Chains A and B, each alone.
Chain A
Amino acid sequence: MSKNDRPTDIGINRTGIALSPVDGPRMTEGAKAMPPSSDGSARDAAVLRFRYAVEAGEIGHMPPPLSLRGVAEAAVQLLKGHKGNVLLDKLGERLAFERSGVRLYDGLILKLEASGSWEGGPTLEDLVSFRADEARHFEWMVEAMTALGADATAMTPSADLTAVESLGVLQVISDPRTGLAQALHAQQIAELADVAGWDLLSTLAGSLGHGELAAQCRLALTQENLHAASVARWLRAHVETAAHGELARAS
């Protein structure tokens, strides 16, 4: 069944109050007439949240270091102290993000094959190429963590949080009811975050003396900048085409 061809309620979105000319005003008047059951404001809950924030423990910690046998002496020196954990946490974050990024592109490729693209939109080759970039970046991070004596299969705290941050992106892309443009709009969040992530990591690696790693991160950053710019361009082309009523498919 086409997305625009529902037999029950073509084009009717029922969420707004204006769709209920009788019930809507009665509901509003009723709520206005009935006082709250207790005084105060949203600040009451903010005070409680503040106390929890002050008292709460951590989400989790970094895993203990593996044996450093076989790890280059220079790397051992660079990882000493707390700074090593900060770097490994961020490496773990990029690793997880890029690995999930491969799966997000799997979803986007499927969308394109299912509903097609539009003039100025992505081609299959574009998406396949970007997927390969994500896979390569993931591989780089596995190698980097292994070279530093870390367990590349561990979920670091930043890796965990970045997956929580991305939950909505995956939910939109994996929903069969969304079109390619809607999915790319979600992907834009991931690409913008990815650009910021690589920028941060390359700066951090450089400041900690990991010159080669920093250079590799800058290369990834260049590629992610291309991804973000491409997604923005595709979406611009989509809205312009749609606004002129020339869009045939892939809403």
Chain B
Amino acid sequence: MSLDISNERGTPLDQQKFTWKDIAGEPYSKLDDDAFTRVRQILMHGVEQEACRFKHFAARFNPDLRLPLARVRRVDHLQATMVNWLMPGDQSPLETTIGYEQVAIEVTAHVAAVEPDPYMAQVYRFGLLEDFDHLYRYAALMDRLCGKDANNILQSYTDVMPGRPTSVEHRAPEDDLRRHYEKTQAAPLTKIHAALITGSEWQTRDYYLTVGPTFADPVARLLYAEIAAIEEQHVTQYEALSDPRETWLEKWLVQEATEVYAYWSCYCQEQNPRIKQIWERFLSYELGHLRLVRELMQEVEKRDPAELLPAEFPEPLSFSSHREFVRQTLTEEVLLRARGFDIVPPDLESPASVAYREQLNASGSPSELVAAGYRWKPGTELTDRRVREAEFVSLVQEEAAQ
């Protein structure tokens, strides 16, 4: 299966139209649809959000591109809304959070497994183990605060167990920067991966910052604040992978190619026919956007965009369980840390990061607290009689005794 992006023309921009009924259509079923339908929905919202964000920044620096940027961005915005509105009203913010972490794990694992540049692949594996740990912490919160099982959302595709502990993921800013790819040498897929994962992580950061304070529970508020900080670090890490010397049009081209690649991947694997139609329609829209940017590049930079793009995408992004890859990475790399641009053994960790996290964790670690002694079990830890029938000890009396 492959997609020939040089000959597919897509839907012309002036024919990309929406109605409010389209935009706020029927959501997927939290209960019946496959977990990877939710994964695709969350991922594509992140991709569209990144598309809008990129175009806003580009418009601030490129007066001559403002009109085409605004035209394409308007469609991106409506696509983002339509994709996000596929989320059902019975899915709580914490359940959606579990979905976000499943996206971060399974999509990043795929990217890490197929990324051709070994340094980039290591960076993705490094981030993967951190998002893997976030899932464990949120699952513990869901179990212990709400009495609900995270696996109702995960559908057994993704493990719930500790990764690199969130409490040690806090790093000094200089240890979150990474080396960027060289725009003239990097494979197109390397560029696409960087744009894809940056967008995904950015929406996760924004989501946690938005929903974190909607919780009343202090432990939930603390945990969202802590993990949002790591997502901010991840955005710093992943956006550093793109070559800052790319022109705005080069970056725009990569962004559109990323959207084409991602929608094509969704289209190839979607099981829900109604949602598959959305992916097909938006794939065609993105091919239209890509064509427009190719023409702009020829017109403005007098360059052939074909030199920057793959002729075709060989394999779609795999929306599937990466359990073995994640477990192997966990076994081999969980202890790794960062120092400057490099991923290093723990004894070489940057002293600046050690000092930074000691200060942040000085009054306790929310992520350690929420999952103290926690092991995920099907049906929640309350299926364990020892937990269910644990002896009651009054906190007031305990405090008084101390």
Q: Does A139 contact B (CB under 8 A)?
A: no
Measured CB to CB, the nearest residue on chain A to B144 is A42
Whether A41 and B372, one on each chain, are in contact in the complex, defined by CB atoms closer than 8 angstroms, is: yes
Q: Which of B88, B133, B273 contacts A8 (CB 8 A)?
A: B273
Q: Which of A17, A30, A174 contacts B151 (CB 8 A)?
A: A17
Residues of A within 8 A of B377 (CB): 28, 31
Q: Does A67 contact B (CB under 8 A)?
A: no
Q: Which of A35, A40, A41, A49 contacts B219 (CB 8 A)?
A: A49
Whether B31 and A15, one on each chain, are in contact in the complex, defined by CB atoms closer than 8 angstroms, is: yes
A135 CB to closest chain B CB, in angstroms?
Answer: 26
Whether B371 and A38, one on each chain, are in contact in the complex, defined by CB atoms closer than 8 angstroms, is: yes
Whether A45 and B372, one on each chain, are in contact in the complex, defined by CB atoms closer than 8 angstroms, is: yes
| Segment 46-82 of A: residues with Cβ below 8 Å from B | 46-50, 52
Given A13-B32, A47-B395, A48-B364, CB of A39 within 8 Å of CB of B323: no
Given A9-B271, A14-B35, A48-B364, CB of A32 within 8 Å of CB of B156: no
Q: Which of B152, B368, B375 contacts A32 (CB 8 A)?
A: B375
Residues of B within 8 Å of A, CB-based: how many?
Answer: 55
Measured CB to CB, the nearest residue on chain A to B378 is A17
Residues of A within 8 A of B153 (CB): 15
Whether B32 and A41, one on each chain, are in contact in the complex, defined by CB atoms closer than 8 angstroms, is: no
Residues of A within 8 Å of B, CB-based: how many?
Answer: 43
| Segment 4-47 of A: residues with Cβ below 8 Å from B | 6-9, 12-17, 19-20, 23-24, 26-28, 30-32, 34-47
Measured CB to CB, the nearest residue on chain B to A23 is B156
B365 CB to closest chain A CB, in angstroms?
Answer: 8
Given A23-B323, A42-B372, A49-B217, CB of A14 within 8 Å of CB of B162: no
Q: Which of A15, A50, A174 contacts B152 (CB 8 A)?
A: A15
A79 CB to closest chain B CB, in angstroms?
Answer: 31
Residues of B within 8 A of A8 (CB): 32-33, 271-274
A200 CB to closest chain B CB, in angstroms?
Answer: 23
Whether A14 and B371, one on each chain, are in contact in the complex, defined by CB atoms closer than 8 angstroms, is: no
Whether A49 and B151, one on each chain, are in contact in the complex, defined by CB atoms closer than 8 angstroms, is: no
Q: Does B218 contact A (CB under 8 A)?
A: yes
B162 CB to closest chain A CB, in angstroms?
Answer: 4
B258 CB to closest chain A CB, in angstroms?
Answer: 27
Measured CB to CB, the nearest residue on chain A to B166 is A37
Q: Does B374 contact A (CB under 8 A)?
A: yes
| Segment 349-369 of B: residues with Cβ below 8 Å from A | 364, 368-369
* Cα(A12)–Cα(B271), bound, Å: 13
Whether A20 and B165, one on each chain, are in contact in the complex, defined by CB atoms closer than 8 angstroms, is: no
Measured CB to CB, the nearest residue on chain A to B386 is A41
* Cα(A48)–Cα(B144), bound, Å: 14
Whether B162 and A41, one on each chain, are in contact in the complex, defined by CB atoms closer than 8 angstroms, is: no
Measured CB to CB, the nearest residue on chain B to A41 is B373
Q: Which of B151, B165, B321 contacts A37 (CB 8 A)?
A: B165
B385 CB to closest chain A CB, in angstroms?
Answer: 14
B201 CB to closest chain A CB, in angstroms?
Answer: 22
Given A8-B272, A14-B35, A17-B378, CB of A45 within 8 Å of CB of B369: yes
* Cα(A171)–Cα(B30), bound, Å: 15
Residues of A within 8 A of B173 (CB): none
Whether A44 and B372, one on each chain, are in contact in the complex, defined by CB atoms closer than 8 angstroms, is: yes
Residues of B within 8 A of A12 (CB): 32
Q: Does A175 contact B (CB under 8 A)?
A: yes
Whether A31 and B33, one on each chain, are in contact in the complex, defined by CB atoms closer than 8 angstroms, is: no
Given A38-B368, A45-B372, CB of A7 within 8 Å of CB of B273: yes
B326 CB to closest chain A CB, in angstroms?
Answer: 10
Q: Does B115 contact A (CB under 8 A)?
A: no
A251 CB to closest chain B CB, in angstroms?
Answer: 14
* Cα(A6)–Cα(B375), bound, Å: 36
* Cα(A19)–Cα(B34), bound, Å: 11
Whether B370 and A45, one on each chain, are in contact in the complex, defined by CB atoms closer than 8 angstroms, is: yes
Residues of A within 8 A of B218 (CB): 48-49, 52
Whether B33 and A14, one on each chain, are in contact in the complex, defined by CB atoms closer than 8 angstroms, is: yes
* Cα(A28)–Cα(B161), bound, Å: 10
B276 CB to closest chain A CB, in angstroms?
Answer: 9
Measured CB to CB, the nearest residue on chain B to A53 is B218
Whether B395 and A14, one on each chain, are in contact in the complex, defined by CB atoms closer than 8 angstroms, is: no
Residues of B within 8 A of A34 (CB): 161-162, 375
Measured CB to CB, the nearest residue on chain B to A46 is B395
* Cα(A39)–Cα(B165), bound, Å: 13
Q: Does B306 contact A (CB under 8 A)?
A: no
A117 CB to closest chain B CB, in angstroms?
Answer: 23
Measured CB to CB, the nearest residue on chain B to A29 is B159
* Cα(A48)–Cα(B89), bound, Å: 31
* Cα(A237)–Cα(B390), bound, Å: 40
Q: Does B341 contact A (CB under 8 A)?
A: no
Residues of A within 8 A of B85 (CB): none
Q: Which of B29, B159, B372, B379 contacts A31 (CB 8 A)?
A: B159
B166 CB to closest chain A CB, in angstroms?
Answer: 9
Given A13-B32, A44-B369, A44-B372, CB of A27 within 8 Å of CB of B160: yes
Other A-B pairs, 10, CB within 8 Å; known A6-B29, A24-B378, A31-B160:
A8-B273, A8-B274, A15-B30, A16-B152, A17-B378, A23-B157, A27-B323, A35-B375, A41-B390, A42-B387
Q: List 12 A-B contacts (CB under 8 A).
A: A6-B29, A12-B32, A14-B34, A17-B156, A19-B155, A23-B156, A36-B162, A40-B372, A46-B395, A48-B218, A49-B217, A177-B26
Mark B residues whose CB is within 8 Å of A. 26, 29-35, 88-90, 133, 136, 144, 151-153, 155-162, 165, 217-219, 271-274, 321, 323, 327, 364, 368-379, 381, 387, 390, 393, 395, 399
